[in-house]
């Protein structure tokens, strides 16, 4: 098993996830502040997640997905993962 | 939008993801050491991930999924997420 080379670089993955969260949130008509409050994630941290600047944790991904009424796996799939 | 209460508690999510990674790895006939090497994740950290003791990052989830030839979304789905 040779070492995995990340096909799409890390920042590409994070940008895709952030854009997917933002699109879903806007589709939902929810402000970034409301999503931050609903998930217990700091608002500025949420902004960085949406801009693809944060390697978010699985539990934060699950909280965000829950708040946006989508399964975590569907959210990742929508991000092309 | 009221505050999200995590339906299955956090440790339940992490345990499910860890068990799914372990099952897939064993299905693949790969040692924990080989998976750690392939993903660049420290072996003891990989052990804790499999035991559900670590809130792993998205990028580590993606690396593990890549190394086990499954999409990150399918891996989460197999973990019931």
Chain B residues touching residue A57 (CB < 8 angstroms): 55-58
Residue in chain A closest to B9 (alpha carbons) equals A59
Phi-psi domain of A31 (left: phi exceeds 0; alpha: psi -120 through 50; beta: other):
beta
Residue B57: name the closest of B23, B9, B14, B22 by CA: B14
Q: A43-53, pLDDT tens digit by residue?
A: 999 999 999 99
Measure the CA–CA gap between A36 and B8, rounded to whole angstroms: 20
Rounded to a whole number of angstroms, the distance from the CA of B75 to the nearest CA of chain A is 8
User: Is B39 touching A (CB cutoff 8 A)?
Assistant: yes
- Whether A56 and B62 have beta carbons less than 8 Å apart is answered as no
User: Is A51 touching B (CB cutoff 8 A)?
Assistant: no
Q: Where are the domains of chain A?
A: 4-79
**pLDDT of chain A, 81 residues: tens digit per residue:** 544 444 458 999 999 999 999 999 999 999 999 999 999 999 999 999 999 999 999 999 999 999 999 999 999 999 999
Size of interface A-B (CB pairs under 8 A): 92
Residue B10: name the closest of B54, B44, B71, B47 by CA: B54
Could you tell me the pTM of the whole model? Answer: 0.89
Name the residue among B14, B61, B73 with its Cβ closest to that of A77.
B73
The answer to whether domain A4-79 has CATH 1.10.260.40 is yes
First to last CA, chain B: 22
User: Which DSSP letter does residue A51 get?
Assistant: T
User: Is A29 touching B (CB cutoff 8 A)?
Assistant: no
In the numeric block, the tokens 């929810």 are attached to A30
ipTM: 0.88
Q: B22-37, pLDDT tens digit by residue?
A: 999 999 999 999 999 9
């Amino acid at each position: 098993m040779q070492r995995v080379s990340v096909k799409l670089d890390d920042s590409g993955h994070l940008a895709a996830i952030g854009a997917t969260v933002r699109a879903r949130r806007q589709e939902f008509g929810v402000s970034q502040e409301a999503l931050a409050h609903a998930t217990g994630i700091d608002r500025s941290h949420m902004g960085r997640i949406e801009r693809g600047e944060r390697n978010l944790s699985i539990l934060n991904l699950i909280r965000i997905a829950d708040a946006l009424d989508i399964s975590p796996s569907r959210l990742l799939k929508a991000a092309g993962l």
